[in-house]
Amino acid sequence: MSTAALMSRGNGINQRFNLWILERVRQKRGSPELPFTLEYRHIYVMPTMFGFWFGILLALTAIGGLNFNNNMVLMLAFLLAAIAQLTSLLAYRNLSGMTLLGFRATPVFAGQAARFTVLLKNPEERLRFAIQLVSRESSDCTDIKLQATGRLELDLMTSRRGWIEMEPFRIENRYPLGLFRAWSVIIPKARCLVYPAPAPHPPPLPKTGRGDFGITRKGEGEHLHGLREYQPGDPLGRIAWRTSARHQTLYSKIMESPCEEACELNWYLLRGLRTEEKLSILTAWILRAEHQQIPYSLEMPATALPAALGEDHRNACLEILALFEK
Amino acid sequence: MTGPSQKATRWVIASLSFAMAPQLVKMPIPLVIMTLLPLMWRIGAEIRGWKPLPALVRHGATALALLALYFSYGSIAGRRAAISLLTVMLALKLIESYRIRDARLIVSFSLFLCTTQFMFNQGILMPIYGVFTIIMVLVTLTQLHRNEAYFAFDETPPVSVSLFSELGFSFRLLMLAIPVGLAFFLFFPRWVTPLWGIPEATLDAKSGLSDSMSPGSIQNLFMDDSPAFRVVFDGRIPQPSDLYWRGPVFWDFNGRTWRGGFYGKNLGVASQPEANEAPWTYTVQLEPNERHWLFALDYPATRPRHSRITIDFQILRRLPVTQLLQYSMVSDPVFVDSPELGVTLKNSALDLPVDSNPRTRKLIERWKSEGLDGQAMVRRVLTHFNTEEFHYSLDSPLLGRHSVDEFLFDTRTGYCEHYASAFTVMMRMAGIPSRIVTGYQGGWYNEIGQYLLVRQSDAHAWSEVWFPDQGWTRVDPTAAVSPLRIARGSLSAIPAPRHLLDYSWLRSFRNGVDIVQQRWNDWVIKFSADSQARMFSSFGLERLTPSMLVATLFVVIGLFSFLLLPFILRVKGPDRKDPLRAVWLKFLQRLKTVGFEALPSRGPIELAHSAAIQLPRDSRSIHHIADLYSRSRYSGTPPPLRQLKDAIKDFHPKKNTG
């Protein structure tokens, strides 16, 4: 991803200010070592737009009070100014000590939003109100209870396959009155794998494999494969009533059928197409084969995987496609 | 939705309503309606879920409100008019506010509205109003902040905050802000001269004595219990019968209404008593009344700043009194006011409308023909009031064209202005120059606060007659009818309660409680650039310059931050609140002194084992303590903490010399 990620949806000045801060953070601090605890030198505090106008209103009130030497007007204006000042400390305090534990991301297909989960721990004995994460494209907000860990999610739109780097984001809050914003810029070292986008109308699956691959299709068929504990969603007809009665738990029968077909997904089958189109079609085939529970093998110019089924196999295949020639 | 939640919206409405209440009371009725209508509509919309009004209706309402404002005030130049405009506009803003931005705008201006009310009233109840407004606004802003943070997500915030904790938080915020606010209040340099002037007509209605007197005008003041001024005497306190506070003086009579004379208003005083011989020294704290008169005892020997003293000893301030005003006075009762009187003045002190009050004139002619003159005539008239059936009462019928005739011969009942007016007219008929003086008489002495409280209900009217060489002499005809009025005050002269809640114990209570207001005035309202500069004069620093003040401000705030910041920003570790851990840490400390370093990763039993190996002589007590600790920590029925504490107190490991 480009490093000049804009951090703000605000106006031009705001955007330039945020970019400047980001550049500073990049030079001074770079990506934080995890776990990363926010300390005073990581946190910035500035008035919000509302805080700015509120300050102007207070200043006008104070000038009026000074002019007429009206002590109650002055007292109120000064009190409110002190309160406002105090809230800037509280905004800072609401962030300081928060610990960034790590990032998680599950692979997505190009065109989908990559969802990064940020784990934020509150190691202290006080509640953290309305902690917000803001990136260029999305934001999230949560309260984090004492000594709890908050999971906040940031989405990032993807367009191309391969690794996508998580963009810089801000941890911020405007607690308690919205007059001040305290924030810290994080340049995360986290990435998400983006699979190629599956082709919308792929050619039919190349069912070229033979039945003696030795792999059976579990789930359907006439032969009993074994028993397992009942899981919600298992059809009623599959429940092994007799066994269940003996063990006082529900068991479902797993059936199997001998594998009659398999597909060989082969890079060289697809000719006359561009690389990305080929990858899209292969992705679509993998998904379809997985859906139809037909074992599939994958052969690429540099690597090959034997026929198999299941989540791990699927992910391994998709990863090869995602990182092909990258 | 980007709008505030329903709860927050209700708080916005409540804050605005509360902040505008004192203003509503003072606004003309059409404007009050134009303010309440949008407010009611919005409340209805919140309860019933009405749809937002179309723009046409909203703009129409705004135009209507502006019209109502224009016709009520004539312009929007005055202070009250400008604030009425703000109030109406805020109420109208309410009907089109469905965003957090708008809600914040309304709430911020509610605070502003609250401050504007202090321009009119700085009474003792106003700080309470201010504090309540602040707390309500803080609660509202807290809720709006949470709305803003969560608005993008349909989920409700994971932690729900109770109203009680919101109120508590706002209150704590206010309390924590008080020291810094106070430091700013005391040390922020004040302006000696205002940048722009105070508009002449600022208050809602002038209060107190006016520039004319007709039957009933002082009687109305009798109903008004608000304080007129307070006096602190330096040294001797005059007798109640000497407490005549001189205000407006009237020369011209049209048969019904007394007015100030042209000469009386415009000529300056010729001579004043010597200040250093005057016995009465006192300081007056005058409540704002929008008028020019400053009140003093006869005869003022000094002149307050920005004021002049007229030939009839009225003290007139250049600008009306719009704020609490304090001035020091010296008065000497022994002084001859105008031993000689010019012809013009004499004539205006004798002038009467022709053909009025024929019956009175006849009576005076009869007395004159009996040879009564001068002082004897004065005594005769007073005796007449005293011996004939005259009543001192508030229930006096309305008087017509020959007001003095009707009063003297028909109704025979009246308040001080009736007697003063009748007496003065009779004197003029007898050829004795006379005039009416209005002001206050008496007051209530607050023993605790050691000050004299004069209320509007102490308003009084009396006469002055002029004799060659003796000058103007005070004659109070009311004293002839009701000596109690002078000796004991206006309220004892009329025994019947003035209104439903008029009991004497309540009045004494109110008089006593007035000390709070007096102290408030003394310490807060009166504080000015001058008192600020002389704040440290008792420490030898005569005058503080603005730069010294700013330096002091920084020092005070720095000191305060030093004390408070760790408290605000404190990091609450688990050690602080866990007494068990604190005791355990003490134990580890003891072990450390004899050279045993505890690894933090070890549990208590494991730690005890290795410690016992290293310190075999203390192994029994080490195991005992570790056992107690782990049972206190993990067992369902923990032993009392006392036991562990005692065990650790008695634990004195010896260094293993072997």
Backbone torsions φ then ψ of B649, nearest 5 degrees: -65, -35
The answer to whether A178 faces chain B, any CB pair under 8 Å, is: yes
Peptide bond into A35 cis (omega under 30): yes
Model pLDDT, residue A214: 47
Backbone torsions φ then ψ of A119, nearest 5 degrees: -100, 120
A317 burial type by CB count under 10 A (0-12 exposed, 13-18 middle, 19+ buried): buried
Half-sphere exposure of B435 (CA within 13 A, CB side): 29
Task: Tell me the Ramachandran region of residue B65: left when phi exceeds 0, alpha when psi lies from -120 to 50, beta otherwise.
Answer: alpha
User: Please, what's the b/e burial string for A99-124 (b: 16 or more CB within 10 A of its CB; e: otherwise)?
Assistant: bbeebebebbbbeeebebebbbbbbb
Q: Sort out which chain A residues have CB atoms less than 8 A from B138's CB and list them.
A: 83, 177
Asked if A130 and B529 come within 8 Å (Cβ–Cβ), the reply is no
Asked if A83 and B111 come within 8 Å (Cβ–Cβ), the reply is no
Asked if A68 and B198 come within 8 Å (Cβ–Cβ), the reply is yes
Asked if A79 and B178 come within 8 Å (Cβ–Cβ), the reply is yes
Of A89, A127, A175, the CB nearest to B569: A89
Model pLDDT, residue A212: 47
The answer to whether B142 faces chain A, any CB pair under 8 Å, is: yes
Which residue positions in chain B have pLDDT lower than 70? Answer: 1-2, 76, 152-155, 197-206, 395, 492-502, 567-578, 600-601, 656-658
Contact residues for A94 (Cβ-Cβ < 8 A; gap 6+): A128, A129, A131, A173, A175, A176, A182
Asked if B142 and A177 come within 8 Å (Cβ–Cβ), the reply is yes
**CATH code of the domain made up of B343-500:** 3.10.620.30
For the packed helices B163-187 and B126-150, what is the interaxial angle rounded to 10 degrees? 120
The single-letter code of the amino acid at B48 is R
The answer to whether B146 faces chain A, any CB pair under 8 Å, is: yes
Could you say which residues from 547 to 586 on chain B have a Cβ atom under 8 Å away from some Cβ of chain A? Answer: 565, 568-569, 571-574, 577
Of A57, A71, A78, the CB nearest to B525: A71
DSSP letter (8 states) at residue B590? H
Of A65, A145, A177, the CB nearest to B141: A177
Where is A266: in which H helix or E strand? strand A263-266
The answer to whether B386 faces chain A, any CB pair under 8 Å, is: no
CB B227 within 8 A of CB B454: yes
The answer to whether A123 faces chain B, any CB pair under 8 Å, is: no
**CATH 3.10.620.30 intervals, chain B:** 343-500
The answer to whether B317 faces chain A, any CB pair under 8 Å, is: no
Task: Tell me the Ramachandran region of residue A76: left when phi exceeds 0, alpha when psi lies from -120 to 50, beta otherwise.
Answer: alpha
The single-letter code of the amino acid at B499 is H
CB A110 within 8 A of CB A194: yes
CB A320 within 8 A of CB A303: yes
Q: Which of B520, B453, B527, B463 is nearest to B491 (CA)?
A: B453
Of A75, A83, A85, the CB nearest to B174: A83
The answer to whether B104 faces chain A, any CB pair under 8 Å, is: yes
Which residue of chain B is at minimal alpha-carbon distance from A69?
A: B528
The answer to whether A98 faces chain B, any CB pair under 8 Å, is: no
Which residue positions in chain A have pLDDT lower than 70? Answer: 1-12, 208-225, 256-261
**What is chain B's Cα-based Rg?**
37
Q: For chain A, first and last CA: distance in Å?
A: 14
Of A57, A68, A129, the CB nearest to B112: A57
CB B421 within 8 A of CB B215: yes
The answer to whether A80 faces chain B, any CB pair under 8 Å, is: yes
Q: Sort out which chain B residues have CB atoms less than 8 A from A142's CB and list them.
A: 157-158
Of A69, A96, A140, the CB nearest to B190: A69
**Token pair 């070890």: residue:** B602
Q: Sort out which chain A residues have CB atoms less than 8 A from B169's CB and list them.
A: 176
Model pLDDT, residue B1: 44
3-class SS shares of chain B: helix, strand, coil, % to 5: 50, 10, 35
CA-to-CA distance for B320 and B366, rounded, in angstroms?
A: 47
Q: Sort out which chain A residues have CB atoms less than 8 A from B99's CB and list them.
A: none
Q: Sort out which chain B residues have CB atoms less than 8 A from A149's CB and list them.
A: none
Asked if B185 and A75 come within 8 Å (Cβ–Cβ), the reply is yes
ipTM of the modeled complex: 0.78
